[in-house]
């Protein structure tokens, strides 16, 4: 299957700072990428959908000024958590799809964010 790589796999940052998470499709062109958030022992909640070259579409209740998503190329999307606070600590997972035919979305390995 196709490979999606997330970086970093874990990050610790101070409250009030911003942190950027990268999601790369390594062997296919990802026209669409998705960002999910997973609280401890809970399911994955879709935060936003981003199409290459367009503004991201955020799910209801997700602050777009807090979670900045950029999808400037067909292989890279970034999620920036701005002015992070402890309540932003979570596991963030991206997925990517080329939206063609009977393909599926492929998931990155996730990023554990801890805000102290």
Partner 1 sequence: AQSVTQPDIHITVSEGASLELRCNYSYGATPYLFWYVQSPGQGLQLLLKYFSGDTLVQGIKGFEAEFKRSQSSFNLRKPSVHWSDAAEYFCAVGRLSGTYKYIFGTGTRLKVLA
17 binds partner 1 (CB under 8 A): no
CB distance 9 to 18 below 8 Å: no
* Minimum separation from the CB atom of position 18 to partner 1 (A): 23
Task: Break the chain down into helix, strand, coil percent, rounded to 5.
Answer: 5, 50, 45
Member of 23, 56, 67, 110 binding partner 1 (CB under 8 A): 110
Look at strands 111-115 and 10-13 and give their pairing.
parallel
* Gap between the Cα atoms of 78 and 38, Å rounded: 17
The C-alpha atoms of residue 84 and residue 19 are separated, in whole angstroms, by 8
For partner 1, the binding residue among 49, 50, 75, 77 (CB under 8 A) is: 49
Residue 92 within binding range of partner 1, rule CB under 8 A? no
Which stretch in 20-28, 68-76, 80-88, 96-104 sits in contact with partner 1 by CB under 8 A? Answer: 96-104
Does residue 3 belong to the site contacting partner 1 (CB under 8 A)?
Answer: no
Check if the beta carbon of residue 73 is closer than 8 Å to that of residue 62: no
Residues that bind partner 1 (CB under 8 A): 1, 6, 32, 34, 36, 41-46, 49, 91, 93, 95, 97, 99, 102-105, 107-110, 112
């Amino acid at each position: 299957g196709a490979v999606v790589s997330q970086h970093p796999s874990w990050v610790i940052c101070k409250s009030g700072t911003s942190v950027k998470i990268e999601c790369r499709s390594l062997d296919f062109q990802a026209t669409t990428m998705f960002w999910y958030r997973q609280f401890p022992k809970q399911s994955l909640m879709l935060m936003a959908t981003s199409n290459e070259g367009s503004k991201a579409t955020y799910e209801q209740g997700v602050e777009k000024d807090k979670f900045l998503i950029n999808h400037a190329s067909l292989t890279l999307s970034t999620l920036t958590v701005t002015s992070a606070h402890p309540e932003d600590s979570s596991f963030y997972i991206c997925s990517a799809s080329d939206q063609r035919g009977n393909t599926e979305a492929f998931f990155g390995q996730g990023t554990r964010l801890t805000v102290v």
